[in-house]
Amino acid sequence: MNWQSIAFDWNQVRAFLATAEEGTLSGAARALGQSQPTLGRQVAALEKALGVVLFERVGRSLVLTPVGHDLLEHVRAMGDAAGRISLVASGRSQGVDGTVSITASDVMSVYMLPPIVAELREVAPGIAIEIVASNEIADLQRREADIAIRHMRPEQQDLIARSLGEGSAHLYAATAYLDRMGRPATPEDIARHIFVGFEQNDRLIEGLNEVGIPLTPEIIRVKSGNGVVFWEMVRQGIGIGVMSDDVAALTPGVERVLPGLGPIRFPIWLTAHRELHTSRRVRLVFDLLYERLRAGRPS
């Protein structure tokens, strides 16, 4: 290992990373919980230490130089590694052992959570995870779960809620079904198709009406209260159904119906007890869920 080459101040790299990501020294200072003069000095010192100019001081804001842009890639890698260090250390830290229960819809439990749980198992082997897969909204107050993933903002004031942005859904059907029954070209064509329903998707039907699909609950001939069963019926070509794009993207053999139709948007919220939020164990799971479910989603 060439120790001489990495003998510069690594904290100055973090200062550069935050400044480049946030756009301003002041913003970086707010993000890192430091002062603006400190960040400015650290970035200047890094420029001096590396012998390159990272930012062009134009007006009141900073613009990355080409060199700064090329360096940013590796600086991000350094920051990512720092994040993993923090994550693994948190998971192995003393006193996090115990059980964390997560409640989510059956669909999300089946299609979205497993890889996150796998990562959690690696990061924090001492934490046991219980998944409560249910479409009933569990009562966090009564400790039916520690963390809930819901599609509405909780009303109770003593719950901590953090928005995961908005999910999007479209109409989907199996390619085999569409090959057989024809692909609807206009919203009106939908009426002569078979719809697979999900018991609690009144709100989704409202959403469909909003985006211009004249759908009534009566048109649904096949339905299930279990979202996985519902989706399996769609996948096997029984009819058209509404599904979140995230899950649909994971399912081969299905395609969008009326792709031009605007998406049905729904909020996603991560919820936990306020007091539990001070538990390092729950905090760790909460933060990881936030990071992984937020990925690639507008916040």
Partner DNA sequence: GCCAATTCATGCATTTCCGTATAGATCATC
Partner DNA sequence: GATGATCTATACGGAAATGCATGAATTGGC
90 binds a second copy (CB under 8 A): yes
82 contributes a contact to a second copy by CB under 8 A = yes
Q: Nearer to DNA by C-beta: 38 or 90?
A: 38
18 binds DNA (CB under 7 A): no
Query: Contact between 10 and a second copy (CB under 8 A)?
Result: yes
Which of 57, 59, 60, 94 binds a second copy (CB under 8 A)? It is: 94
Q: Write each residue from 30 to 59 as x if it is in contact with DNA (CB under 7 A), else as -, in one continuous string.
A: ---xxxxxx-xxx-xx-----------xxx
Binding partner selected for residue 38 from a second copy, DNA, none, CB under the kind-specific 5 to 8 Å limit: DNA
Q: Does 65 bind DNA (CB under 7 A)?
A: no
Report whether 165 contacts 297 (CB < 8 A).
Answer: yes
| Binding of a second copy by 83 (CB under 8 A) | yes
Closest to DNA by CB, 42 or 105 = 42
Which member of 25, 138, 208, 247 binds DNA (CB under 7 A)?
A: 25
156 binds a second copy (CB under 8 A): no
Q: In the numeric block, which tokens belong to residue 89? A: 């250390």
HEC string for the chain: CCHHHHCCCHHHHHHHHHHHHHCCHHHHHHHHCCCHHHHHHHHHHHHHHHCCCCEEEECCEEEECHHHHHHHHHHHHHHHHHHHHHHHHHHHCCCCCEEEEEEECHHHHHHCHHHHHHHHHHHCCCEEEEEEECCCCCCCCCCCCCEEEECCCCCCCCEEEEEEEEEEEEEEEEHHHHHHHCCCCCHHHHHHCCEEEECCCHHHHHHHHHCCCCCCHHHEEEEECCHHHHHHHHHCCCCEEEEEHHHHHCCCCEEECCCCCCCEEEEEEEEEECCHHHCHHHHHHHHHHHHHHHCCCCC
Q: Which stretch binds a second copy (CB under 8 A): 90-98, 131-139, 164-172, 208-216?
A: 90-98
CA distance 128 to 253: 35
Restricted to residues 157-176, the positions that interact with a second copy (CB under 8 A) are: none
Pick from 44, 52, 131, 181: which binds a second copy (CB under 8 A)?
52
Site for a second copy in 95-124 (CB under 8 A): 95
The one of a second copy, DNA, none whose footprint includes residue 77, by CB under 5 to 8 A per kind, is a second copy
Give the interface with a second copy as residue ranges (CB under 8 A): 1-11, 13-14, 18, 21, 31-33, 50-52, 67, 70-71, 74-75, 77-79, 81-90, 92-95, 287, 291
Catalog residues that contact DNA under the rule CB under 7 A.
Answer: 9, 11, 24-27, 33-38, 40-42, 44-45, 57-62
